[in-house]
A and B are shown apart, each in its own frame.
Chain A
Amino acid sequence: AQKITQTQPGMFVQEKEAVTLDCTYDTSDQSYGLFWYKQPSSGEMIFLIYQGSYDEQNATEGRYSLNFQKARKSANLVISASQLGDSAMYFCAMRPINDYKLSFGAGTTVTVRA
């Protein structure tokens, strides 16, 4: 079974600053995918970024980057140049290659201040 841990229940960040959201995971699988999703108050889960366990480079998607440290089993999300629209709940998730389900952490609420 996979366990995803997000230790920060809530964070405040000033507009235009960067914020790092922590995620650690526990798995015995060697091949897996790591995902970050954003969930605004509307409820829709929006895919942000993906990192494969065998990818040599950290993933980046626009203002989102993933700080992947395989040996430490961590996959932290960095949001650069925060915007007011970034205020939402952020979830880290994992899926082993031979599994179909996503396992999610408890989420981190980000509030961007003007």
Chain B
Amino acid sequence: DAGVTQSPTHLIKTRGQQVTLRCSPKSGHDTVSWYQQALGQGPQFIFQYYEEEERQRGNFPDRFSGHQFPNYSSELNVNALLLGDSALYLCASSFGTTLAKNIQYFGAGTRLSVL
């Protein structure tokens, strides 16, 4: 049973460029959440996708957008990259329920460096 998979593992971009990160959820999960983790900090919620729609968004600018496909996989797009976007981007998958015991399982992340 494959867990959450993310690609690529590392990425180097320059300021102003655009980037696309990809995530495949754990088997059986229908919900994907994206988090940004700056060095030495805890992850910050970017948004969550369920049924191909963004259903909750954190405090991130519109430069951050996403998509969920019918097979539940997801993409995170970041436009007009800034130096401050350098971080580890984590994808988490879960079931769509709001039950308290709805565990989000994470992938290994994509480490983005913006030069």
Contacts and interface: CB of A to CB of B under 8 A. Distances in A.
B48 A91 contact: no
Interface in A16-74: 31-33, 35, 37, 42-47, 50, 52-53
Nearest to B88: A43
B33 A50 contact: no
The size bracket of the interface on A is 20 to 34
B108 A35 contact: no
A95 B100 contact: yes
A91 B42 contact: yes
A83 interface: no
B100 A101 contact: no
B105 A47 contact: yes
Interface residues of B, number: 29
B109 interface: yes
Contact of B41 (A43, A102, A106): A106
Contacts, number: 72
A41 to B, nearest CB: 11
Given A101-B48, A104-B42, A44 B100 contact: no
Contact of A100 (B44, B48, B88, B109): B48
Contact of B109 (A44, A102, A107): A44
Contacts of A44: 106-109
A46 B42 CA distance: 14
A103 B45 contact: yes
Contacts of B105: 47
Interface of B: 31, 33, 35, 40-45, 48, 55-56, 58, 88, 90, 92, 98-109, 111
Question: 5 nearest interchain CB pairs?
Answer: A104-B42, A45-B106, A101-B45, A33-B100, A44-B108
